[in-house]
Amino acid sequence: MSMTSQTPPSSGGQSLQQWLLSDTPTSRRQARLSALYQGWLALRQNHMAMVGLAILVVLISIALFAPLIAPHDPFVQDLANRLQPLGSEGHLLGTDSLGRDILSRLIYGARITLYIVALVALIAPVVGLLVGTVSGYAGGWADVILMRITDIFLAFPRLVLALAFVAALGAGIENAVLAISLTAWPPYARMARAETLTIRSSDYISAIRLQGAGPLRIIIKHIWPLCISSLIVRVTLDMAGIILAAAGLGFLGLGAQPPSPEWGAMISEGRRFILDHWWVATMPGLAIFAVSLAFNLLGDGLRDVLDPKDSAS
The answer to whether 234 and 242 have CB atoms below 8 angstroms apart is no
Q: What is the pLDDT of residue 3?
A: 45
Q: What is the pLDDT of residue 69?
A: 92
Averages of pLDDT over runs of 10 residues in the chain (313 residues) are 50 63 75 80 88 93 92 89 88 89 93 89 91 88 91 86 84 86 90 88 81 82 84 86 87 83 89 88 92 90 71 44
Separation of alpha carbons 194 and 175, rounded Å: 30
Q: What is the pLDDT of residue 52?
A: 92
The answer to whether 239 and 117 have CB atoms below 8 angstroms apart is yes
Q: What is the pLDDT of residue 285?
A: 92
Query: What are the phi and psi torsion angles at 262 (to 5°)?
Result: -80, 140
Q: What is the pLDDT of residue 7?
A: 55
Which amino acid belongs to residue 225? P
